[in-house]
Chains A and B, each alone.
Chain A
Amino acid sequence: MKEITHILATLTIIGIIAGGALSLVNNWAAPKILINQKAETERAIYLVHLDGKRYEAMKDAGFEVYKVFDQTDKSVGYSLVYAGNGFQGKIKLMIGLTENLSKITSIEVLEQSETPGLGTKILEPPYKDQFKELTPIAGIKLVKGVAPSNPNEVQSITGATISSRAIVTIVNEGISKLKTLVSKSSDQKREGRPQ
């Protein structure tokens, strides 16, 4: 009995001290971590909208999307975070779109775990800069081996077709999701103000 009390007491004391120390550290660290996370999102949002100065998160979207404004507070479009399956793991993209969703400003890869040297070429300008100024109205198409001839085509990376296709799929899905969201919210606005 005495032994059990001893065991219980020791473990309890250790637990209390450890918990106390951790809560002290956490109190100090939590606000800093929050600031870091916010700065990271902010940096990512402006990556695809270089003239962006202010942003607003769109709520109730079910995914992360931000409306971006320039210094005159004019809306320059959307920054959309969308993820999908790559070759080995998730690929998370930041997609920049113009106000009427007719053009992609640019895309950035936020997270990926593709094969180094092959799939990771999706991070390099020759591939990802192809998305700049694309008009995704009928969806983006991936072409293999030939240079893209239409304004909605992207050339696949040799040896990394799956990664290239994954990016195109994610971009297309994200844009169509955003389109339904935007048209829904503009419908609601119209209903609210009958003319």
Chain B
Amino acid sequence: MKKQVTLTKEFTKGLWEINPILKQILGTCPTLAVTVSVMNGIAMALATTFVLVFSSLLISLVRKLIPNQVRIAAYIVIIASFVTIVDLVMKAQFPELSKSLGPFIPLIVVNCIILGRAEAFASKNNPLRSVLDALGNGAGFFIALMVMSGIREILGSRSFLGFQVLPSAFEPWLIMILPAGAFLVFGLLMGFSNMYVDRKKNLEREALIAQYKRVGREEITDNVLKEAGV
């Protein structure tokens, strides 16, 4: 039996530790495509989170009833239903937004964050944990999209959420609103986040070594470090 993590941890792990974009590298297609403006990013993240939470809940509820052989088919039907609901509601209530997101709302069906979490988490855990996990992953997706679309909108069209934030003397970087800009920002973001993680790990390692030295254990073997979990 594996160790149960706390409920808060179930939520917060999605924000950073297993952030769907930066760590699991799931759902990159919508990430690259819709982050031209912050508004698009927000709408995409909210729509995805909605689908993610409700399909995780439902899948977790019926996880024991679905025969193993057809689980993926069942998941897809459940996910597709929620996506269609989102698509219809957006078309009815927010026609402008639905137009600017274009085909990416229907494509949430195949967004691997949702199927990934369904298969890796919701199908093995109880509804409460599944919903928390889904909320955490949705929030992580939201944060990643906000950062990316913020950078792209500010540099690419001088504005944030449609309001001009940089002076008109600043020449917008066209590349930022072109697909190539998406790849550049994505790559740099991932690079920086990995750099941060590596640095943190090294610092922890050094701190531990220093601590061991202080208590007089001169020889630090890899085994000791492994035991300490760094």
- Select from chain A the residue with minimum beta-carbon distance to B79: A18
B1 lies within 8 A of chain A by Cβ: no
B contact set with A: CB distance below 8 Å: 62, 65-67, 69-70, 73-74, 77-78, 80-81, 84-85, 88-89, 91-93, 95, 156, 172, 174, 177-178
Contact of A61 with B by CB under 8 A: no
14 contacts between A and B (CB under 8 A): A7-B67, A10-B67, A10-B70, A11-B77, A14-B77, A28-B92, A29-B89, A29-B91, A32-B91, A32-B92, A36-B92, A116-B156, A117-B174, A118-B174
Residue-by-residue, is A28-54 near B (CB-CB < 8 Å gives 1, otherwise 0)?
A: 110011001100100000000000000
User: Interface range on chain A: under 10, 10 to 19, 20 to 34, or 35 or more?
Assistant: 20 to 34
Of A14, A36, A116, the residue contacting B78 (CB under 8 A) is A14
- A18 CB to nearest B CB, Å: 4
A25 lies within 8 A of chain B by Cβ: yes
**B88 contacts A25, CB within 8 Å?**
yes
Residues in chain B near residue A158, CB distance under 8 A = none
Task: Give Cα distance in the complex from A37 to B92, angstroms.
Answer: 10
Whole-angstrom distance between the Cβ of B194 and the nearest chain A Cβ: 30
A172 to B77, CA, bound (A): 48
With known contacts A3-B67, A10-B67, A32-B93, A15–B77 Cβ distance under 8 A: yes
Q: How many A-B residue pairs have CB under 8 A?
A: 59
| A193 / chain B contacts, CB cutoff of 8 Å | none
Closest 5 CB pairs of A and B: A32-B92, A29-B88, A18-B81, A29-B92, A117-B174
Q: Is there an interface contact between B77 and A10, defined as CB atoms closer than 8 Å? A: no
Complex-state Cα separation, A94 to B81, whole angstroms: 36
Residues of A within 8 A of B89 (CB): 25, 29
Beta-carbon nearest neighbor of B71 in chain A: A10
Q: Measured between C-beta atoms, what is the minimum distance from B202 to chain A in Å?
A: 41
The yes or no answer to A26 lying at the interface (CB within 8 A) is yes
User: Which of A18, A21, A26, A37 has the largest number of chain B CB atoms within 10 A?
Assistant: A18
Quote the shortest CB–CB distance from A109 to chain B (angstroms): 14
Per-residue CB proximity of A135-155 to B under 8 Å, as 1/0?
Answer: 000000000000000000000
Distance of A19 from chain B, by nearest CB (Å): 8
In the bound complex, CA of A11 to CA of B89 (Å): 26
Task: Tell whether, in the assembled complex, residue A33 and residue B77 are in contact, meaning their CB atoms are under 8 Å apart.
Answer: no
Q: Is the CB of A26 within 8 A of B70?
A: no
The verdict on A6 contacting chain B, using a C-beta distance below 8 Å, is yes
Contact yes or no, A117 B172, CB < 8 A = yes
A22 near B92: Cβ-Cβ < 8 Å? no
Chain A residues, CB < 8 A from B77: 11, 14-15, 18
On whether the beta carbons of A22 and B91 are closer than 8 Å, the reply is no
Q: With a CB–CB cut-off of 8 A, which chain A residues contact B67?
A: 3, 6-7, 10
Known contacts A22-B85, A26-B88, A29-B89; A14 and B95 CB within 8 A of each other? no
Residue of A whose beta carbon sits closest to that of B75:
A14
Residues in B neighbouring A115, C-beta threshold 8 A: 178
- Greatest chain A CB density within 10 A among B62, B74, B78, B172 is at B74
CB-CB nearest in chain A for B67: A7
CB-CB nearest in chain A for B73: A11
Cross-chain contact A11 with B88 (CB below 8 angstroms): no
Q: Which residues of B contact A18 (CB under 8 A)?
A: 77-78, 80-81
- State the CA gap A37–B62 with chains docked (Å): 38
